[in-house]
């Protein structure tokens, strides 16, 4: 995450992201998600819309 959120040029990369990348950029800024992540179970991750490769 850029350190100076007011510097527009720090966010030029956003225009190159696909839907999944943009979703991740939004999710990682969510304070509830960040607080829950360290102890998150797979079921809780699914509630956030996350999927783990190799699992259904």
pLDDT digits (tens, 9 = 90+) for 6-47: 888 888 888 998 888 888 888 888 898 889 888 888 888 878
This prediction's pTM: 0.57
Q: What is the DSSP letter of 3?
A: S
The upper half-sphere exposure of residue 15, i.e. CA atoms within 13 Å in the direction of its Cβ, equals: 5
């Amino acid at each position: 995450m850029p350190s100076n959120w007011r510097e527009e040029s720090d966010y030029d990369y956003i225009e190159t992201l696909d839907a999944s990348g943009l979703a991740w950029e939004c999710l990682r800024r969510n304070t509830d998600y960040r607080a829950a992540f360290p102890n998150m179970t797979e079921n809780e991750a699914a509630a956030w819309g996350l999927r783990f490769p190799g699992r259904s």
